Chains A and B, each alone.
Chain A
Amino acid sequence: MLKFEQDRSKFPEEKDGKLEIDLDSQKFIKIWQGPNHPGITGNMALELTVSGDEVVESKTHVGYLHRGFEKLMERRKFIQCFPICIRMCVPEPDINEYCLAASVEDLAGIEVPDMAKWLRTLVLEMARLVILLRGVPGQGGTMSLGMGVQWGVYVRDLMIDRFEELTGGRVYHMYIAPGGVRGLLPEGFKGRMEEVLKKIDEFVVDIDNLMFSNAVFKKRTKGIGVIKPEWIEQYSVVGPNARAAGINRDVRKDYPYLMYDKLDFESYVGKDSDIYTRSRVRWHDLQTSVDMIRQIMAKMPNKGDIRAKTPNVLHWKIPKGETYQRLESSRGEYGFYMVTDGSAYPRRINLRGPSYNSAVLLLEKMLVNANISDVSSMMVSLATCPPEIER
Chain B
Amino acid sequence: MSLKDVLLPFLAWGKVFKNPVTIKDPFNDRPGSARYRGFHKNDIEACIGCGACEEICQNAAIDMVPVKGIETKDGDSGLRPMVDYGRCCWCALCVDVCSTNSLNLSNEYTWVENDPDKFRYIPGVDKKDWDNNELGWKKPENYDLNEPFRIQMEELKPEKRDSSFIEFVKGYSKEQAEAEADRCIDCGLCTATCPAHMAIPEYIKAIRNDDLEEGLRIMYETNPLPEICGRICTHKCETVCAMGHKGDALSIRWLKRYIADQIPESKYKDILNQGNDISPKSKKIAIIGSGPAGLSAAYYLTNLGYKTKIFEALPEAGGMMRYGIPEYRLPYDQIDKDVKYILSLGVEIEYNIKIGKDISLEELGKEYDAVFAGTGLHLGRSTRIPGAEHENVYFATDLLREISLGNDIHVGNKIVVIGGGNVAMDITRSLVRLQNQKNIKVDVTATSLESEDIMPADREEIDESREEKAIIDPGWGPKEIEIKDGKIKGLRTIKCLSVFDDEGRFNPKFDEKDKKFFEADMVVESIGQGMDLTYISEDIKTMVKFSDRGRIIVNKDFQSSLDWFFVGGDIIEGPDVIHGIANGHKAAKGIDKFLNK
Chain A residues engaging chain B, CB cutoff 8 angstroms: 76-77, 79-84, 147, 151, 154, 161, 164-169, 172, 174, 180, 182-184, 186, 206, 209-211, 213-215, 218-219, 305-307, 309-315
Tell whether, in the assembled complex, residue A210 and residue B9 are in contact, meaning their CB atoms are under 8 Å apart: yes
Could you say which residues of chain A place their CB within 8 Å of the CB of B92? Answer: 168, 174
18 contacts between A and B (CB under 8 A): A76-B58, A77-B58, A80-B93, A81-B58, A83-B58, A83-B91, A169-B37, A180-B143, A211-B9, A213-B9, A214-B9, A218-B5, A306-B142, A307-B144, A312-B146, A312-B147, A314-B186, A315-B205
Tell whether, in the assembled complex, residue A165 and residue B146 are in contact, meaning their CB atoms are under 8 Å apart: no
Could you say which residues of chain A place their CB within 8 Å of the CB of B147? Answer: 309, 312
Docked Cα-Cα span, A309 to B146, in Å, equals 8
CB distance from B274 to the nearest CB of A (A): 30
CB distance from B183 to the nearest CB of A (A): 6
Q: Given A209-B12, A214-B8: A183 and B140 within 8 A (CB)?
A: yes
Tell whether, in the assembled complex, residue B89 and residue A213 are in contact, meaning their CB atoms are under 8 Å apart: no
Known: A83-B89, A305-B142, A306-B143. 4 other contacts (CB 8 A): A83-B93, A164-B33, A186-B33, A313-B145
Docked Cα-Cα span, A76 to B11, in Å, equals 53
1/0 per position for B69-98, CB-CB distance to A under 8 A?
Answer: 000000000000000000001111100110
1/0 per position for B324-353, CB-CB distance to A under 8 A?
Answer: 000000000000000000000000000000
Docked Cα-Cα span, A182 to B138, in Å, equals 10
Q: Which residue of B lies closest to A169 (CB)?
A: B37
Could you say which residues of chain A place their CB within 8 Å of the CB of B208? Answer: 315
Contact of B146 among A82, A83, A206, A314 (CB under 8 A): A314
Docked Cα-Cα span, A215 to B21, in Å, equals 29
Tell whether, in the assembled complex, residue B143 and residue A168 are in contact, meaning their CB atoms are under 8 Å apart: no
Contact of B34 among A169, A186, A307, A309 (CB under 8 A): A186
CB distance from B374 to the nearest CB of A (A): 38
Tell whether, in the assembled complex, residue A213 and residue B140 are in contact, meaning their CB atoms are under 8 Å apart: no
Could you say which residues of chain B place their CB within 8 Å of the CB of A307? Answer: 142-144
| Interface membership of B365, Cβ < 8 A | no
1/0 per position for B39-66, CB-CB distance to A under 8 A?
Answer: 0000000000000100110110000000
Docked Cα-Cα span, A165 to B9, in Å, equals 35
Could you say which residues of chain A place their CB within 8 Å of the CB of B186? Answer: 314-315
Could you say which residues of chain B place their CB within 8 Å of the CB of A214? Answer: 5, 8-9
Contact of A314 among B15, B32, B36, B97 (CB under 8 A): B97
Q: Which residue of B lies closest to A81 (CB)?
A: B58
Q: Which residue of A lies closest to B6 (CB)?
A: A215
Contact of B11 among A172, A210, A311 (CB under 8 A): A210
Docked Cα-Cα span, A167 to B90, in Å, equals 12
Docked Cα-Cα span, A211 to B59, in Å, equals 44
Contact of B143 among A182, A213, A215, A315 (CB under 8 A): A182
Could you say which residues of chain B place their CB within 8 Å of the CB of A209? Answer: 8-9, 11-12
| Interface membership of B182, Cβ < 8 A | yes
CB distance from B563 to the nearest CB of A (A): 48
Tell whether, in the assembled complex, residue A312 and residue B89 are in contact, meaning their CB atoms are under 8 Å apart: no
CB distance from A150 to the nearest CB of B (A): 9
CB distance from B260 to the nearest CB of A (A): 23
Could you say which residues of chain B place their CB within 8 Å of the CB of A147? Answer: 12
1/0 per position for B418-458, CB-CB distance to A under 8 A?
Answer: 00000000000000000000000000000000000000000
| Interface membership of B1, Cβ < 8 A | yes
Contact of B185 among A83, A211, A305, A312 (CB under 8 A): A312
Could you say which residues of chain A place their CB within 8 Å of the CB of B97? Answer: 313-314
Docked Cα-Cα span, A214 to B10, in Å, equals 9
Tell whether, in the assembled complex, residue B58 and residue A80 are in contact, meaning their CB atoms are under 8 Å apart: yes
Could you say which residues of chain B place their CB within 8 Å of the CB of A166? Answer: 35
Docked Cα-Cα span, A168 to B91, in Å, equals 9
Tell whether, in the assembled complex, residue A312 and residue B184 are in contact, meaning their CB atoms are under 8 Å apart: yes
Tell whether, in the assembled complex, residue B137 and residue A168 are in contact, meaning their CB atoms are under 8 Å apart: yes
Tell whether, in the assembled complex, residue A206 and residue B182 are in contact, meaning their CB atoms are under 8 Å apart: no
Interface residues on B, range: 35 or more
| Interface membership of B281, Cβ < 8 A | no
Docked Cα-Cα span, A161 to B35, in Å, equals 12
Tell whether, in the assembled complex, residue B32 and residue A164 are in contact, meaning their CB atoms are under 8 Å apart: yes
Tell whether, in the assembled complex, residue A312 and residue B183 are in contact, meaning their CB atoms are under 8 Å apart: yes
Could you say which residues of chain A place their CB within 8 Å of the CB of B484? Answer: none
CB distance from B207 to the nearest CB of A (A): 12
Docked Cα-Cα span, A167 to B96, in Å, equals 13
Q: Given A80-B58, A164-B32, A164-B36: A215 and B11 within 8 A (CB)?
A: no
Tell whether, in the assembled complex, residue B58 and residue A84 are in contact, meaning their CB atoms are under 8 Å apart: yes
Docked Cα-Cα span, A215 to B10, in Å, equals 12
| Interface membership of B4, Cβ < 8 A | yes
Tell whether, in the assembled complex, residue B140 and residue A165 are in contact, meaning their CB atoms are under 8 Å apart: no
Nearest 7 CB-CB pairings of A with B: A80-B58, A83-B91, A312-B146, A168-B35, A213-B8, A215-B5, A165-B33
Tell whether, in the assembled complex, residue B146 and residue A213 are in contact, meaning their CB atoms are under 8 Å apart: no
CB distance from B201 to the nearest CB of A (A): 11
Could you say which residues of chain B place their CB within 8 Å of the CB of A164? Answer: 32-33, 35-36
Docked Cα-Cα span, A219 to B59, in Å, equals 50
CB distance from A32 to the nearest CB of B (A): 32
Most buried by B among A169, A174, A184: A169
Within 8 A of A (CB), among B84-141: 89-93, 96-97, 105, 137, 140
CB distance from A152 to the nearest CB of B (A): 12
CB distance from A322 to the nearest CB of B (A): 23
Most buried by A among B140, B147, B184: B140
Tell whether, in the assembled complex, residue B34 and residue A165 are in contact, meaning their CB atoms are under 8 Å apart: yes
Within 8 A of A (CB), among B172-209: 182-186, 205, 208
Could you say which residues of chain B place their CB within 8 Å of the CB of A315? Answer: 182, 186, 205, 208
Could you say which residues of chain A place their CB within 8 Å of the CB of B9? Answer: 209-211, 213-214
CB distance from B478 to the nearest CB of A (A): 48
Could you say which residues of chain B place their CB within 8 Å of the CB of A310? Answer: 145
Docked Cα-Cα span, A32 to B55, in Å, equals 45
Contact of B35 among A186, A309, A313 (CB under 8 A): A186
CB distance from B444 to the nearest CB of A (A): 42
Docked Cα-Cα span, A209 to B21, in Å, equals 21
CB distance from A209 to the nearest CB of B (A): 4
Contact of B12 among A180, A210, A305 (CB under 8 A): A210
Docked Cα-Cα span, A315 to B183, in Å, equals 9
Could you say which residues of chain A place their CB within 8 Å of the CB of B142? Answer: 305-307
Could you say which residues of chain A place their CB within 8 Å of the CB of B6? Answer: 215
Q: Which residue of B lies closest to A183 (CB)?
A: B140
Could you say which residues of chain B place their CB within 8 Å of the CB of A309? Answer: 147
Tell whether, in the assembled complex, residue A311 and residue B182 are in contact, meaning their CB atoms are under 8 Å apart: yes
Q: Which residue of A lies closest to B145 (CB)?
A: A313
Could you say which residues of chain B place their CB within 8 Å of the CB of A76? Answer: 58
Could you say which residues of chain A place their CB within 8 Å of the CB of B35? Answer: 164-168, 183, 186
Q: Which residue of B lies closest to A213 (CB)?
A: B8
Q: Which residue of B lies closest to A161 (CB)?
A: B33
Q: Which residue of B lies closest to A173 (CB)?
A: B37
Could you say which residues of chain B place their CB within 8 Å of the CB of A312? Answer: 145-147, 182-185
Docked Cα-Cα span, A165 to B37, in Å, equals 10
Could you say which residues of chain A place their CB within 8 Å of the CB of B36? Answer: 164, 168-169
Within 8 A of A (CB), among B137-172: 137, 140, 142-147
Could you say which residues of chain B place their CB within 8 Å of the CB of A180? Answer: 143
Tell whether, in the assembled complex, residue B1 and residue A218 are in contact, meaning their CB atoms are under 8 Å apart: yes
Could you say which residues of chain A place their CB within 8 Å of the CB of B21? Answer: 154
Most buried by B among A167, A168, A309: A168
Tell whether, in the assembled complex, residue A79 and residue B56 are in contact, meaning their CB atoms are under 8 Å apart: yes
CB distance from B95 to the nearest CB of A (A): 10
Could you say which residues of chain A place their CB within 8 Å of the CB of B93? Answer: 79-80, 83
Q: Which residue of A lies closest to B144 (CB)?
A: A307
Tell whether, in the assembled complex, residue A313 and residue B56 are in contact, meaning their CB atoms are under 8 Å apart: yes
Q: Which residue of A lies closest to B7 (CB)?
A: A213
Could you say which residues of chain B place their CB within 8 Å of the CB of A168? Answer: 33, 35-37, 92, 105, 137
Contact of B96 among A154, A161, A182 (CB under 8 A): A182
Q: Given A169-B90, A215-B5, A307-B143: A206 and B37 within 8 A (CB)?
A: no
Docked Cα-Cα span, A76 to B208, in Å, equals 19
Docked Cα-Cα span, A80 to B184, in Å, equals 18
